A = this chain, B = another copy of it.
Amino acid sequence: MIVVMSVSAVEQDIQQVVSAIEARGLSALRMPGGDRIAIGIPSAIPPDLREPLFQALSVLPGVQHVAHVSRPYKLASREFHGADTIVDVKGVRFGGRQIQMITGPCSVESYDQMRAAAMAARAAGATVLRGGAFKPRTSPYAFQGLQEEGLKILQRVGRENGLVTISEVMQPDLVALVAGHVDILQIGARNMQNFPLLIEAGKSGHPVMLKRGPSATLDEFLLAAEYLLHHNNSKVLLCERGVHPLDRSYTRNTLDLNAVPVLKEISHLPVIADPSHGTGISRYVPAMALAAVAAGADGIMVEMHPNPREALSDGAQSLTPGQLQSLMSRLRAVAAAVGRSA
Enumerate chain A interface residues (CB-CB to B < 8 A). 2, 4, 6-8, 20, 29, 31-36, 38, 40-44, 46-48, 50-52, 54-56, 58-60, 64, 67, 69-70, 72-73, 79-80, 82, 134, 136-143, 170-173, 190-191, 193-197, 214-220, 223, 226-227, 230-231, 243-251, 254-258, 260-262, 265-266, 278-279, 281-284, 287-288, 290-296, 308-316, 330, 333-334, 336-338
A309 with B34: in contact, given A246-B243, A337-B337 (CB under 8 Å)?
no
| B313:A55 contact, CB within 8 angstroms | yes
Give which listed residue, B29, B171, B255, B261, contacts A197 with CB less than 8 A. B171
Q: A194–B138 Cα gap in the complex (Å)?
A: 10
Residues on B with C-beta less than 8 A from A337 are: 330, 333-334, 336-337
| B230:A140 contact, CB within 8 angstroms | yes
Shortest Cβ distance from residue A331 to the other chain B in the assembled complex, whole angstroms: 9
| B250:A247 contact, CB within 8 angstroms | no
How many copies of the shown chain assemble into the complex? 4
11 contacts between A and B (CB under 8 A): A2-B40, A36-B79, A38-B42, A51-B139, A51-B143, A56-B310, A219-B247, A243-B246, A254-B258, A291-B294, A294-B334
Shortest Cβ distance from residue A41 to the other chain B in the assembled complex, whole angstroms: 8
Shortest Cβ distance from residue A112 to the other chain B in the assembled complex, whole angstroms: 18
Residues on B with C-beta less than 8 A from A51 are: 139, 142-143, 313
A250 with B31: in contact, given A258-B284, A291-B292 (CB under 8 Å)?
no
Residues on B with C-beta less than 8 A from A2 are: 2, 40, 67, 69
A195 with B315: in contact, given A51-B142, A256-B254, A258-B254 (CB under 8 Å)?
no
Q: A316–B244 Cα gap in the complex (Å)?
A: 27
